[in-house]
Structure 1
Amino acid sequence: MQRQSIRKFLNNKTIAYLAAGTFLLLSVLLGTSIGTVYVPMVTIGRIIEAKLFGLSLERIDPMFTNIVLDIRLPRVILSGLVGASLAIAGAAFQGLLRNPLADPYTLGVSSGASVGAVITLFFQISIPFVGSFTLPFLSILFSLATVFLVLAFARKIERSMRVETIILTGIIFSSFLGALISLMIALTGDELRQIIAWLLGSVSMRGWEYVKIVIPFFTIGSFILIMNAKELNAMSFGEERAQHLGVNVQKRKLIILTAGSILTGAAVAVSGTIGFVGLVIPHLARLLWGPNHIHLLPISILIGSGFLILADLISRTIISPTELPIGVLTALIGAPVFSIILLQRKRTERSG
C-alpha cells in the first residue's frame, strides 16, 4: 500500500513540475553566484532572506550584497521573465496553429515589436504619462498591429484563415519588417551601435526598473493564456472539432494571439531580439509532460525562464570580460537542438 501511495504521488505531473522547478531554482542560484566575483550560494540565500524579512545585513560582506542585489539578481530575474514570456507565447502559438514551427518570430510578432522598439530608440520617443513604459508600450502596440495585419491579410487570401495561410503571411510580414529595420539602421548615425546591440539581444546593464516594466505585461499575458488552456487543447485538434466542443474559435484565437503579442512585445522591448526560445522550449516541455496545455504552459514558463538565465550566464562568462549577445548564443544552441527534435519526430512518425 505504501509503495502504491508513493507511485501515485510521483506521477508524471509531479515529476515534471519538480524537474522544471528544480531546473529553474538551480539556474537562478548559478546565475547569481557565478561571475567575475564568485558569491557563495549560502551568502546569496542569507542576502535574499535578510532583504525579504527586513533582517540586518551587517554580517554579510557589503561587496557581496551590492553584487547580488544591484547587479546580478535583477539581471537574472529579467532574463528569467523574458525567457518565460517567449516560451509560453511560443507554446500557445504552436498549440493554436497546430504547427511545430509556429512561434512569435514566424508569425511576425517579434519583428513588429522590434520595429516599434527601433522607432522608439531612433526618434528618442517618450510618451507623456507613460514615461519609462514608452518602449514596451510601443513594442506591444506594433506587435498587436502586426498580428491584426497578418490575420486581415490571411483572411483576404482565404476566408477560412487556415493555419498554413496564417504562417505564410506571418513569414512574409516578418521579412518585410526585417527589411524595414535594416533600412532604419542604414539611416542611423550615432544611434547605430545602440540599435544593433539591442537587436542582437541582451539583458546586460538592466536594473530593477526593467524588471518592473516587464512584470505587469508578463503577469497579464501569462494569466490570459493559462485561463485559455482548455480552449487551446480543443483547438489543437482542429478548429472544426473545437467548434463542435462549443469553443468560439475566432474569439479565442484573437484573445490568444493578443496575449502572445503582449508577452512578446514586452520581452522584445527590454531584451531585444532573442530567437529560438519560443520555438525550442515548448518542444522540450512536451517531452517532459505532453501536449496538455493546462500543464504545458506553466512548465514552459519554468523551463524557458531557467534556460535563458543559463544562456545569459554563459554569454557573460564564456569569453569574459567580453560578453556575447544572448540572442546569438540562443540561436547557436537552439538551431541544433531544434534540428535534433525534428529528426526524432520524423523517425517516430516513420516507425509509427
Structure 2
Amino acid sequence: MNAKMKKAFRNPAFCIEKNMTYNSGKNTLKIIAAFIVGIIALLMGICLGSVNIQLTDTFSIIMAKLSGSAVKESVDPSLISILWEIRIPRALCAFFVGGAIAVSGAVIQSILQNPLASSYTLGVSSGACLGAAIVIITGIGGAFLGYFLLPAVGFGCGLLTVLLVILVATGLDSGFKNHTIILFGMIFSLFVNAIMTMLSALNKSHMQRLILWQLGTFSGRRFAHVAVIFVCLIIGMILIMLFHRELDILSFGDEEAQAVGVDNKRTKIILLILASFLTGVSVCFTGVIGFVDLTIPHIVRRIYGSAHKVVVPMSLILGGAFMTICDLLARTLMAPQEIPIGAITAFVGAPFFLWVYYKRRT
C-alpha cells in the first residue's frame, strides 16, 4: 500500500478532496474567461440603454469622478449625470445581487443535496416580502433608517422565517435531515405567501407597488445601496469560503460527512444562516428575483467541477454577469417602459435550466 492509499484509508476526507479538486488545474483559463465575461457584462450594463454612451466617454467620466478632476469638454454634461448617478449604481447593484443570490443557491443545493433547493424554498424571499408589505401598507417611517427602513424590515423578516424553519425542523427531527428542512421551508413559504396574497387583496391601493416588489427591480438604486450590498456580500463570501471543505464533504451525503467527523447539524445551521443572509440582503433591496440561484450553480458546476473553493467565487462572477445582462434587457426591450427583472430571469432562466437538466440526464 503506497503513501496516498494509506492516507486515504486513514482519512476518507482525503479521497473526497482529491476527487473534488482533481481537475482544478485545468480551470485557470475558464476562471480568466469568467472574469472577462463579468467585466464585459458590467460595461454593457453601464454603457447601453435608452441613451448609449461610448466606451471612451465612460472611462473618461469614471476616471474624472474618481480623481476629482474635470471631465473633458467634449463629453455631453447630461451623460455624466446618467452614467454616474443612474447607470453605474444600478449595474453594480445588479452584479452584486446576482452574485449573492447565485452563491446562496450553490451553498443550499450542496448542503441539502437537492438540485431544486434554494433560499426561496426555505422561505427567505417570502418572509422578506411580507416584512416589506407591512412597511408599504402601514406607511411607517423612521428618521434614522430613512429609505433603508424597507430593506431592514424585509431582511429581518426573511431571516426570522429561516430561523423559525430551523427551530421547528430541529425540534421535530433531531438529526436535522435534509428532507425535513425542505419540507418545513416549503410549508412556511406557502403560509407566508398566503398572507401576502390576502394583504394585497385587502389593500388594493398598494397592490401595484406590492406586485412590483414581488417581481423585483433595480430602478432607483444609488451608491448607498451598492455599498451596503457590497459589504454584506464580502462578509458572507469570506465566511462561506471558510467552510468550502465542509461543503465538499456534505455534497456526498450526511453519512459520509459524519464518517469524516463533520458536525452536520451545526455546519448546516451556520451555512443556512449565511446563505439566507446573502439572499435576505439581496431581496430586501431589490425585491424577489428567482431562477438565478437555481440556474447559475448548475452551470458553474458543469464548467468548473464540484470543488466549492471554485464553485462559490465562480457563482459570484457568473451570477453577477447574468443578472446584469437581465437588467439590461429589462430596461431596454420595451423602453421607455421597464420590465420587472423577475420576469426576465424567469423567461431566460427557466428554459435554460430545463436544457441543463436534460443534458445532465442524457
* Normalised TM-score (structure 2): 0.88
Corresponding residue for 2:71?
57
Deviation at 1:33, TM superposition (A): 1.0
Deviation at 1:213, TM superposition (A): 3.3
Q: Is the 8 A contact 1:113 1:264 kept in 2?
A: no
Q: How does 1:1-352 map to 2 (within 5 A)?
A: 11-59=25-73, 60-126=75-141, 129-347=144-362
Q: Is the 8 A contact 1:133 1:213 kept in 2?
A: no
Unaligned 5+ runs, structure 1: 1-9, 348-352
Tell me how far apart the structure 2 counterparts of residues 128 and 95 of structure 1 sit (CA, whole Å). Answer: 41
Deviation at 1:315, TM superposition (A): 0.9
Tell me how far apart the structure 1 counterparts of residues 193 and 104 of structure 2 sit (CA, whole Å). Answer: 20
Deviation at 1:334, TM superposition (A): 1.0
What amino acid maps onto 1:183 in structure 2?
M
SS in 1 for 2:176: coil
Structure 1 stretches of at least 4 aligned residues deviating more than 6 Å after TM superposition = none
SS in 1 for 2:205: coil
Tell me how far apart the structure 2 counterparts of residues 118 and 212 of structure 1 sit (CA, whole Å). Answer: 24
Indicate the larger mover: 216-225 or 78-87: 216-225
Q: Is the 8 A contact 1:91 1:297 kept in 2?
A: yes
What amino acid maps onto 1:178 in structure 2?
N
SS in 2 for 1:191: helix
Label 1:93 to 1:127 Cα distance change in 2 as closer, same or farther (>3 A): farther
Unaligned 5+ runs, structure 2: 1-23
What amino acid maps onto 1:67 in structure 2?
I
Tell me how far apart the structure 2 counterparts of residues 52 and 234 of structure 1 sit (CA, whole Å). Answer: 44
Q: Is the 8 A contact 1:78 1:211 kept in 2?
A: yes
Q: Is the 8 A contact 2:175 2:265 kept in 1?
A: no
Tell me how far apart the structure 1 counterparts of residues 90 and 350 of structure 2 sit (CA, whole Å). Answer: 25
Deviation at 1:148, TM superposition (A): 2.0
Tell me how far apart the structure 2 counterparts of residues 277 and 345 of structure 1 sit (CA, whole Å). Answer: 18
Deviations 1:256-292 (A, max 9, x none): 1111111111111111111000110101111121111
Matched length? 338
Deviation at 1:311, TM superposition (A): 0.2
Tell me how far apart the structure 1 counterparts of residues 65 and 81 of structure 2 sit (CA, whole Å). Answer: 12
Q: Is the 8 A contact 2:132 2:151 kept in 1?
A: yes
Deviation at 1:312, TM superposition (A): 0.5
Deviations 1:100-146 (A, max 9, x none): 11111112121112212222222233456444433232222222221
Deviations 1:211-261 (A, max 9, x none): 233223222222221222121112112223223323222222111111111
Deviations 1:66-97 (A, max 9, x none): 11101111110111111011000000101111
Q: Is the 8 A contact 2:166 2:269 kept in 1?
A: no
Tell me how far apart the structure 1 counterparts of residues 261 and 137 of structure 2 sit (CA, whole Å). Answer: 47
SS in 2 for 1:100: coil
Q: What's the Cα RMSD here?
A: 1.8
Q: Is the 8 A contact 1:76 1:309 kept in 2?
A: yes
SS in 2 for 1:125: coil
Deviation at 1:31, TM superposition (A): 0.9
What amino acid maps onto 1:108 in structure 2?
G
Q: Is the 8 A contact 2:129 2:213 kept in 1?
A: no
Deviation at 1:19, TM superposition (A): 1.6
Deviation at 1:13, TM superposition (A): 2.3
Tell me how far apart the structure 2 counterparts of residues 274 and 216 of structure 1 sit (CA, whole Å). Answer: 20
Label 1:129 to 1:162 Cα distance change in 2 as closer, same or farther (>3 A): same
Q: Is the 8 A contact 1:82 1:267 kept in 2?
A: yes
* Normalised TM-score (structure 1): 0.91
Tell me how far apart the structure 2 counterparts of residues 72 and 187 of structure 1 sit (CA, whole Å). Answer: 36
SS in 1 for 2:289: coil
Q: Is the 8 A contact 2:122 2:189 kept in 1?
A: yes
